[in-house]
Amino acid sequence: MLLEELGLIGNCQFSALVGRSGEVVWCCLPRFDSEPVFSTLLDAQNGGRFSIGPAEGGPGESTYVENTNILETTFKTGSGSFRVLDFAPRFVQHDRMFRPTQLYRIVEPLDGTPRVRVVCEPRLGWSKAAPIRQNGSNHVQFEGYESQLRLTSDIPVSFLCGQPFTLTERRHLVLTWGAPVEEPLRSLSERFLSETQRYWQRWVKGCNIPPLYQAAVIRSGLALKLHCFEDTGAIVAAMTTSIPEAPGSGRTWDYRYCWLRDAYYSLGAFRILGHFDELESFLHYLMNVAGGAQDMELSPLYAIDGSRAPEERILENWPGYGGNGPVRVGNAAGAHTQNDVFGEMVLALVPVFLDERFRGDRSKATLKLIERLARKAISVAGKPDAGIWEYRTEWKPQTFSSLMCWAAADRMARVASVHAPNLEQEFRHGAEQIREKIIANAWSAEMNSFAGSFGGRDLDASLLQMAYLRFLPLGDERLHKTIDAIHHGLSMDGWLYRYRLDDGFGSPIVAFIICNFWLVEALSDLGRKAEAKEIMDHSHAALSALGLLSEDYETANRRMWGNFPQAYSHVGLIHAAFAASPRWPDVL
């Protein structure tokens, strides 16, 4: 099973990954971080499956219905062809967003008399126990879950256990968590399909896009939107757990949580696209999280309901993706100190006070929150932490963490100049002190570059963001030399590693996709547009046929690895595409 062959569907309540075989290989219900109902992604033999495919088996060809999150898989067989449409309903109903925990699958003959097989065998989460199956007149009820799980269909119930049948007309299946479908299935399915298609296509029409890389930006925007848990405003890092960063590496992590850092980058991408609802929703999420954080001791990540993410544990009876275990639930990074998070939170919130479109979101409480976050950033700058890469070795003062602390103080000074003038000098002074600390401790004359840690001799791709953040004037020679050192020192086959240090699991052996996009942005900021576009074109070629990206890239085999799809990677693509593309006035 290749990540490149998987499609993502969802509705900002739950999601699913569907393979070219017509099988739902991953789906957690009723929300992203719940236990899986279908999970052959991590256990190909006993993970539970929901498949619709040819009676004789074999893959189809998958594509998205234009500018939507509706997946279409077409199968050609010796007796005819058919297609499967997979989607989760999402549209406005009664002035509210309707996003039920329901997975719709519509199977339609295209020509001939194709023979089809349907199998629905869910599992009771991490136990992998099979639920009790109760057949009704037009449905199958699966017993043993916290809520009702029911498959309703106009396909005879006798054919829902894998018995092949001849498909002669359009048929409908809906898997529901909670209240079952009671309305006529055919008309309901067709209406939900039409409304969902209309919703996504209107959403795309509301997006800003660059002249180049348009399809990639649109798909990235659509994928990124599905990472938003609308109920609370959380934005998850990825939809999956435990897909290894590289084969046999043991680097298997659970990413189905909200990293505050990742959410900041995601909000920046939504802002570029021209969508702002996500910022307002995340503001409420952050206010809830911060309200429970004594002395602003923020965890790097939280569960999507705002509670602390569960402790990391290993599931012994799961083989893992392609046999590459271990499978982990929870994430130990929740207990890390990662000082950069205060900077990212300030950067996420300052548009509320610097952009007039957000006047309605301004409040004394929000301004006080930014002020507290910035003061916390100043107090922790230069202190040892696990950093952006979440090192599981001895912590050191990480340059990127201090860079983000500087950004927190610098941006708070800008906000204060307009909304709290009496505080401006405090934060300008704090920012200047941190800048001096970084230059004194992280600039390496020997490397002719800023190092990844204070007093270190290590390159760190995250420092490419020095240009975007305007830590130094864009003409500063140290900035150019740092970007060139990272470009040449961390490059492999045209892709960038995060670093080359031993991080407790050995040295990385795969590229980290967003680093290429950071490089594109940095070079563009420095006016080196031709170089930026060349790297963007190279990176763009790594997209899957469906336009999706994982976290990591094995350059030798051109394989994606890491949790999938990865919000971070799609955020990077959106930023880089706008940076590398000409402006619309220059091409029209």
CA dihedral 256, 257, 258, 263 (to 10 degrees): -20
Structure-token pair, residue 106: 């519509």
Q: Helix, strand, coil: what percent of the chain each, to 5? A: 40, 25, 40
pLDDT along the chain (588 residues), means of 10: 97 98 98 98 96 96 98 96 98 95 98 97 97 95 97 96 95 97 95 98 97 98 97 96 94 95 91 92 88 84 94 96 97 93 94 91 91 96 93 89 98 97 97 98 96 96 97 96 97 93 80 97 96 96 95 93 97 97 89
Burial of 294 (0-12, 13-18, 19+ CB in 10 A): exposed
CA dihedral 104→209→260→547, nearest 10 degrees, is 50
**Residue 280: per-residue pLDDT:** 87
Distance of CA 389 to the CA centre of its chain: 16
> What's the CATH architecture for 3-204?
Distorted Sandwich (2.70)
Measure the CA–CA gap between 287 and 285, rounded to whole angstroms.
6
Q: What is the pLDDT of residue 505?
A: 74
Distance CA 385, CA 254 (A): 21
pLDDT at 109: 98
Based on its alpha-carbon atoms, the radius of gyration of the chain, rounded to whole angstroms, reads 24
Asked whether the beta carbons of 514 and 259 are under 8 A apart, the reply is: no
Residue 361 pLDDT: 86
Residue 283 is predicted with a pLDDT of 86
CB count in 10 Å sphere of residue 554: 18
What secondary structure, in 3-state letters, does 48-59 show?
Answer: CEEEEEECCCCC
∠ CA 23-254-36 to the nearest 5 degrees? 40
Q: Two tokens at 169?
A: 């007309």
Alpha-carbon distance of 326 to 318, in angstroms, equals 7
* Tokens read off for 82: 């058919």
pLDDT at 8: 98
Q: Is the pTM for the entire model greater than 0.85? A: yes
Query: Could you tell me the residue ranges of all domains in the chain?
Result: 3-204
CA distance linking residue 64 with residue 507, whole number of Å: 37
108: amino acid identity, one letter: E
H-helix segments, 156-207:
185-205
Q: Residue 141: in which H helix or E strand, if any?
A: strand 139-143
> CA 27 to CA 12: how far, in whole Å?
13
356: which DSSP letter?
Answer: G
Given this model, what pLDDT does residue 549 score? 98
| Closest of 90, 64, 101 to residue 203, by C-alpha | 90
